[in-house]
Amino acid sequence: MSREHFDVARFPELNMPPRILMGPGPSTINPRVLRAMTTRVVGHLDPEFLRLMDRVQALLRYAFETENPLTIPISGTGSAAMEAAVANMVAPGDPVLVCVNGYFGLRIADMARRYGGDVATIARPWGEVFTPDEVEAALAQRPARVVAIVHAETSTGALQPLDEIARVVHAHDAILIVDAVTSLGGVPVRVDAVDIDVCYSGSQKCLSCPPGPSPITLGPRAVAKLEQRAAPVPNWYLDLTMVGKYWGQERTYHHTAPISAIYAFYEALRIVAAEGLENRWERHRRNAQLLWDGLEGLGLKLHVPLEHRLPTLTTVRVPDGVDEAAIRRRLLDEYNIEIGGGLGELRGTTWRIGLMGFSSRLENVVLLLSALDRLLH
């Protein structure tokens, strides 16, 4: 098509609606984080940016509650951090155990197979959690070098206890990978206290940063396993032996970091630190309890039992005779509220309501409950 006949009017200026993001992610971005993205760009090896990288790592260690030196943001969304964990820890032929109680356990298992892992799985119904005895029995029957489990399952809203499972995994001389995509910054993760070997997350959920940089941290066992690999990590872009040198003392060029995304990530982490982790956890718990009480007051049933319910994401069973997609659409059209539908086995039967980071606000809970009351009753 010639430039003379190109109709640029078909491509209007961006003007997105003012959504209230209360789905499974992304969450609403704090305006301070959006402003940070407009900061002038410098080179990815500029001395000022290198100093910023150090500050990002220090804040990220605070969020993860760890002293691990290798604590960095992967340049990619949460699934890139998941793949980095798998690609760096799973060597061809490694026996791997994946605990599957939702959609993202299935994704980890798929990735591990693609990297040559000899994968076995144990399963629980979606919405339930694993016991240490179940992991112990699986490892006693079939030893593994790597065990992966989801801390906060985004597809179900279940929060997995980890302390005893970590001890079981290490007693069997295995590495523990933990998915904290929907928990970091919203509920305690406690990487060092629990003794998690590899933990990863995403920026767009409880940290309320645009999707992009995805945190990962490796403990001493994981670093030792990485250094002892017989063959290079098969994924060049996510090879932490190289990416780690860019973020480490060497500052060796690996790829061009997403400068503006790192600015946003830095500001998001500053907000976490200024609020304080304990205060942040309490805010998420308090608003979640208000939501749970209100939903039950509307006659709705929650999918996950209270003792294992995730404060940052609530799964609600759709009442019989209700068109779940129609309700979501009306929430969007009439109230500018986004919530999520069910995923995987829960598709069509549940709604997923996120109260993460900047979206975890009293006024959001009250507005959503009022809107649901009107639409359902």
- 261-275: per-residue pLDDT in tens? 999 999 999 999 999
- In order of start, what are the domains of the chain with their CATH numbers? 20-27+276-376 (3.90.1150.10), 31-273 (3.40.640.10)
Percentage of the chain lying above the pLDDT 70 cut: 99
- 324-356: per-residue pLDDT in tens? 999 999 999 999 999 999 999 999 999 999 999
Spatial distance between the Cα atoms of 189 and 274, rounded to a whole number of angstroms: 18
Spatial distance between the Cα atoms of 280 and 274, rounded to a whole number of angstroms: 10
Spatial distance between the Cα atoms of 357 and 26, rounded to a whole number of angstroms: 10
- What would you measure as the largest C-alpha separation in the chain, in angstroms? 72
Spatial distance between the Cα atoms of 312 and 208, rounded to a whole number of angstroms: 12
What pLDDT, on a 0 to 100 scale, did the predictor assign at position 3?
Answer: 59
Segment 175-194 shows an average pLDDT of 98
Residue 73 pairs in a beta bridge with 215
Tokens 């070997």 correspond to 197
- 132-155: per-residue pLDDT in tens? 999 999 999 999 999 999 999 999
Spatial distance between the Cα atoms of 163 and 178, rounded to a whole number of angstroms: 12
The pLDDT-based confidence of 6 (bands split at 50, 70, 90) is: confident
Segment 286-306 shows an average pLDDT of 98
- 297-317: per-residue pLDDT in tens? 999 999 999 999 999 999 999
- 48-71: per-residue pLDDT in tens? 999 999 999 999 999 999 999 999
**How much is the pTM?**
0.96
Q: Does residue 124 have a pLDDT over 70?
A: yes
**C-alpha separations of 81 from 111, 238, 255 in Å:** 12, 8, 16
**C-alpha closest to that of 288 among 178, 152, 104:** 152
Spatial distance between the Cα atoms of 71 and 198, rounded to a whole number of angstroms: 10
- The answer to whether residues 229 and 239 touch, using CB atoms and an 8 Å cutoff, is no
Q: Amino acid identity, residue 74?
A: I
